[in-house]
Structure 1
């Protein structure tokens, strides 16, 4: 039989590590750092990290760019919703979503009902600088990132605002953003 006093004792020695009882889902624009911040956050929480986009690619056997090209965005969003529903089930974890996931009404409702959602928000120029480092984003192909991100922000930011917590991501190290998330989660 377990000693019922042991967890309290351990907690005080470890300075009360934050324990989550439901998934933490990171939402926000492409380039805001959901994956890199999510990995660091999961490490700090001692929970698994899952990138929904990676899981979608594994489930489809295609890259996101290929899914968009072959089947279109509506098909992709439906698969994205099903994958996120599966990821939310089970043990608590940190989940990074694609930038458009929370825009889908069904996906947003699912996340709001069954997880703690965190909107990572950043200035358009910060996002544009980050996304210009790689060329794997279908919505940016051959377009000006600042223009696309500004237009997407007008539509998406009011929807992201429905998230449980709002955290700014800027040019400071991601570890600072993780600290801000941990403070918000424990408040």
Structure 2
């Protein structure tokens, strides 16, 4: 990792990227961005609608353009979408421009956190557990391949997670 003021959060849906990201940004007095929210603001429609009309591939194209723009900024905290790391170009941009934190979380906790969420197109399935397990198996090696730091968000309060991330970030950015 190169010295950077940027912190990028990666991990599955429900791992806490937005929650932790907002708290980190507040602690560091940096602007916070959520790549999914930025896409919604740019297009004027929500992610499920993009999935419905353009499919996952269309969404991933939009996501890649947004990651490209956001990684050119300096001094930000960015929560990426759970699948942003699927594309090699996104992984490269994140690695080159910031400190990447993998927010790891058990399938059990993710199911708990997402069970009432209707805004997750990838969970519109008869068996959300199977889908999350499948996504975890597919994506975890990619998260690990680009992460500078990994922390389990399913076993501690967000405040504690933020504290551990700040400790690691500060030790790397001295």
| TM-score (normalised: structure 2) | 0.92
Which residue matches 1:185? 169
**Quick one: which of 73, 82, 88 aligns to 1:99?**
82
The answer to which structure, 1 or 2, has the higher relative contact order (CA under 8 A, 6+ apart) is 2
Which residue matches 2:150? 166
| TM-score (normalised: structure 1) | 0.86
Q: Does 1:60 align with 2:39?
A: no
Is residue 131–residue 145 contact of structure 1 (8 Å, CA) maintained in 2? no
Q: Distance in 1 between matches of 2:154 and 2:8?
A: 19
Gaps of 5+ in 1: 1-19
Q: Which runs of 4+ in 1 moved over 3 A?
A: none
Q: Does 1:87 align with 2:70?
A: yes
**How far does residue 59 in structure 1 lie from its aligned partner after superposition?**
1.3
How many pairs does the alignment contain? 168
Q: Distance in 1 between matches of 2:130 and 2:73?
A: 39
In the TM superposition, what are the counterparts of 1:94-173 in structure 2 within 5 Å?
94-162=77-145, 163-173=147-157
Q: Distance in 1 between matches of 2:144 and 2:132?
A: 16
Give the superposed CA RMSD.
1.3
**How far does residue 145 in structure 1 lie from its aligned partner after superposition?**
2.2
Q: Distance in 1 between matches of 2:118 and 2:32?
A: 24
**How far does residue 171 in structure 1 lie from its aligned partner after superposition?**
4.3
Is residue 4–residue 97 contact of structure 2 (8 Å, CA) maintained in 1? no
**How far does residue 142 in structure 1 lie from its aligned partner after superposition?**
3.1
Q: 3-state DSSP class of the match of 1:72?
A: helix
Is residue 126–residue 171 contact of structure 1 (8 Å, CA) maintained in 2? no
Q: 3-state DSSP class of the match of 2:95?
A: helix
Q: Which has the greater radius of gyration?
A: 1
Q: Does 1:29 align with 2:12?
A: yes
